[in-house]
Amino acid sequence: MARKTVLVCDNCGKEVDEGRGAVLRITFGDARRGAKAADLCDTCATQLPGQQVARRGRKPKSASA
């Protein structure tokens, strides 16, 4: 018997399609408080406040010239 994991958005309660959605992870400055994570659908993830963070690593050779 096969099992299927169903992912549900923690914000709105809708089912998230496979290969979609996002995980929001909050880490506190005080390490004793730990971290929290929330599964979100695409629409809820785009409505959250915050700024896009640049990806880590080297820039492509054509962009660094």
Q: Is residue 13 part of a domain?
A: yes
- Give the model's pLDDT for residue 9: 94
Q: Is residue 24 part of a domain?
A: yes
Instruction: Read off the pLDDT of residues 5-64 as tens digits, 9 standing for 90 and up.
Output: 899 999 999 999 888 999 998 888 887 888 999 999 999 988 888 887 777 888 777 765
Q: Is residue 56 part of a domain?
A: no
- Give the model's pLDDT for residue 38: 92
- Give the model's pLDDT for residue 10: 92
- Give the model's pLDDT for residue 64: 56
Tell me which residue range forms the domain holding 11. Answer: 7-46
Determine the Cα–Cα distance for residues 62 and 65; give it in Å rounded to an integer.
6
Strand 15-16 and strand 7-8: pairing?
A: antiparallel
**H or E stretch including 35?**
strand 35-40
Domain total of the chain:
1
Residue 65 has pLDDT above 60, yes or no: no
